[in-house]
A = this chain, B = another copy of it.
Amino acid sequence: LELGELDTPVATVDLDAVERNIARMQDYCDEHGLAFRPHVKTHKLPAIAHMQLAAGAVGITCQKLGEAEVMQAAGIRDILLSFPLVGPAKAERLAALAGEAELSVAADSAAVANGLSEALARAGVEVGFLVELDGVFERSGVQSPEEAAELAELVDGLPGLRFDGLMTYPTTEETGPQVRAAIDAVRARGLEVRRVSSGGTPTFFTNHEVPEITEVRAGTYVYGDRTCIANGTVPFDDCALRIRATVVSRPTADRAILDCGSKTLTNDAVEDPAGGDGHGLIVEYPDARLHTLHEEHGFVDLSACAERPEICDVVTIVPNHACAVTNLHDEVAVHRGGRVVGFWPVAARGKLR
């Protein structure tokens, strides 16, 4: 079966490109003595997680407990849950999972630490804890070295939790000073910081500049997208996730309508100003502008194109944001050189809790 025989719209994954992307990031980490812990939020596929581990990753990162449950069920043992787990239902599930896998969690509050500790202690299991430091996005995370130290000290005294170190995101010029100040404050309370986890695809290759970082997380690099092309982390040829779509209408000379809208591509913009506007790069018609998406319609302006697609033609799209796109697809058609080698269910898709 060749890609050209697939009905559209369809999400396709180039396994050769995935392997190149995995090798590029793993090589960097190996060269700099960094542990690599890929984030599965991008692919949500057990098979690719296993490829990442086989290449040398120390474990994986999950954003949702439901993702971790899928990955553990697929035989993966070392999992960091990087999103704060709140409430008794999730604490119970974490405790159950901790009996089957080596888990760590990150959070920024006593409330979350206390809630997890209770359930974990009752189950007689232990989970590593990373204190989250806020980064340039001003998202979650403690706001000062003192807050970090205070939470570390609390966690150190809580049954079921083991203070392991610090987590932040993404790695920027501020990360080094911030991490060093937090380490100093934690050490001043007599605690050891064994692990400092940072990451993000856009600044991936700067992690070695902060010697305190021990572990790097990244997700998007494995597929690449227009944002990755723009920030230079994944070249166009290695953008592994692409959407094949059909021209279903050519109402005017300058307009084509594709069978991929926001329910196939999302409305996410390219996150880098150099990445261009619109909703995706049309590989065969780089001068075409996919300027508007309705739920199922993709609006293409062809006015700048010398060659133009006909109705019923199929085109290939590199999406703006791979992680969001994969989340819309129940399965991906996996191929090597255009030959389909499988249809993989996106097993951790839709695991919102």
Contacts and interface: CB of A to CB of B under 8 A. Distances in A.
A249 B327 contact: no
A231 interface: no
Interface stretch (A7-15, A18-26, A117-125, A157-165): A7-15
A63 B83 CA distance: 36
A140 interface: yes
A116 B17 CA distance: 37
Contacts of A10: 352-353
B259 A266 contact: no
A22 to B, nearest CB: 21
A143 interface: yes
A128 interface: no
Interface in A130-184: 134, 137-143
Contacts of A36: none
B41 A295 contact: yes
Interface stretch (A84-92, A95-103, A282-290): A84-92
B312 A108 contact: no
Nearest to A243: B352
A108 B250 CA distance: 9
A71 interface: no
Interface string A251-275: 1100101010011101111000000
Given A8-B87, A107-B249, A328-B352, 7 more contacts: A87-B246, A111-B311, A112-B248, A143-B252, A262-B324, A263-B327, A328-B328
Chain A interface size, under 10 / 10 to 19 / 20 to 34 / 35 or more: 35 or more
A235 interface: no
A119 B112 CA distance: 59
B352 A108 contact: no
A233 interface: no
Contacts of A138: 251, 255, 299
Contact of A311 (B90, B109, B297): B109
Contact of A249 (B90, B109, B268): B109
A248 B297 contact: no
The 10 closest A-B pairs by CB, nearest first: A140-B249, A7-B89, A84-B248, A330-B350, A140-B257, A111-B311, A63-B296, A86-B248, A86-B246, A267-B267
B262 A268 contact: yes
Contacts of A323: 295
A172 to B, nearest CB: 16
A112 B311 contact: yes
A173 to B, nearest CB: 21
7 contacts: A86-B248, A86-B259, A87-B246, A87-B312, A267-B269, A295-B323, A328-B352
A115 interface: yes
A268 B297 CA distance: 15
Nearest to A323: B295
A108 B140 contact: no
A329 interface: yes
Given A259-B83, A262-B266, A109 B250 contact: yes
